[in-house]
Amino acid sequence: MSSHIFEPTSPAGISTRSVHSGAMPEAHTGSVVAPIFQTSTFMMDTPGTTRAGFDYARTGTPNRSDLEQALCELENASFAAALNSGTSAGAAVFSALLRPGDEVILPRDVYGGTFRLLQNEYVRWGVVIRTVDLTDTSALAAAINENTAIVWAESPSNPGLDIIDIAEAARLAHAANALLVVDSTFATPILQRPLELGADVVVHSTTKFINGHSDVIGGAVLAGDGTSCPRAAEVVDRLESHLASVGLGISPFDAWLTRRGIKTLPVRMKAHCENAQAVAEWLETRDEVTEVVYPGLPSHPGHEVAKRQMSGFGGVVSLRTDTEERALALVANTRLITLAESLGGVESLIDHPATMTHLAVADCELSIDGAFIRLSVGIEDIDDILADLAQAFDATVGAAGESGNAAANDAAGNDATAGNGTAGNAVAGAPVAVTVPA
């Protein structure tokens, strides 16, 4: 740790913690902003005696420690590990906590990289994947069995923005001695703290909203106190052992940038939420849009659950246009909003998941509708965002004719997933065994 410990005189609010946890003046020089400790190793005064607990940068650095302290205090966690990507966070959880024969329950709507990681790297070691509609607690209860080791939830999910009742999912998992792991990337600890709702592990792609400036790749794994079920008691020890062996830690510079980003996280999330709500309500007025998916809309099936477990609805809005042709034309014609993968930066980004972020689940039950779009709403002036969307929709005229509109509307009416907040056509129950592209 590079700085003095933050010791407020009374319980500090989350904005105060965002600014000060792991970011107090540097101990040696008094620098208000901690330096970047760009080193691979640390001097010892005598063999085996470290000056501040650091010996080799693979196992820890002052900047990483500062970031981990901040994340722990924001999530009310007992353990945090700041890693070099969100995918590394998932890999750490799966490698440390799974054994051959274990089953992982995935939601029907899940980041394609998580599915690809499990399918390509863990199924061959005997791990079984099951997909379940986690918005339906009865379906989860029916799917859990004696082999279930992890229930993996995303809430809100990527890209369909499903909302999972975290407290109920935790109760069901723990009754079967399974762990609940929640990817809370879209919410951040500003809007939602899954450990307080009963989850055992929280993962983040800190690349996204937590850093918030599209200039870092990072991830995080956080754990609770290990008292929820017998399996949970092993979590921290197994994570610590695994991470000390494999070296997935975030670099000093990326840790420093991420910690800097956290200082403005509360005000950024407020702006993201306000703009996203306005965009979602505006999209509902567009004839070209057959569905708008945003937890802040009363039309969202998870709206009431989101109100109960979140303090805001997030900065991502998803939508389904009347045809795939229009969706492709729309994402190609924005000017202010950038067509790019990733999300959560201060700038607005637009994504066509079927051909971009979720290509890994093409041609399987988790595939994404080609008319589906994910919009990461930035903190620009809302009038500018809406104006850009309006001109982009105008540019799609001719992308879908009357017959195409009718066919799309018929398909939407017959699609069992249309209007329920999910992006694709996942079916609950059976193990998944498919070949996915790289």
From CA 134, how far away is CA 128, in angstroms rounded? Answer: 17
Catalytic residue among 208, 268, 320, 374: 208
122 classed as catalytic? no
Catalytic residue among 64, 108, 109, 111: 111
From CA 78, how far away is CA 237, in angstroms rounded? Answer: 12
What is the enclosing helix (H) or strand (E) of 167?
Answer: helix 166-175
- Residue of 122, 127, 140 lying closest to 176 (CA atoms): 140
326 classed as catalytic? no
Catalytic residue among 58, 171, 263, 286: 58
Catalytic residue among 133, 162, 183, 388: 183
From CA 268, how far away is CA 208, in angstroms rounded? Answer: 12
Q: What is the dihedral of CA 268, 274, 276, 279, to 10 degrees?
A: -140
The per-residue DSSP string of 68-135 comes to: HHHHHHHHT-SEEEEES-HHHHHHHHHHHH--TT-EEEEESS--HHHHHHIIIIIGGGT-EEEEE-TT
From CA 269, how far away is CA 348, in angstroms rounded? Answer: 13
17 classed as catalytic? no
Given the DSSP bridges, would you call strands 289-293 and 316-321 parallel, antiparallel or unpaired?
antiparallel
183 classed as catalytic? yes
Tell me the two tokens of residue 229. Answer: 């079920």
Active site members: 58, 111, 183, 208
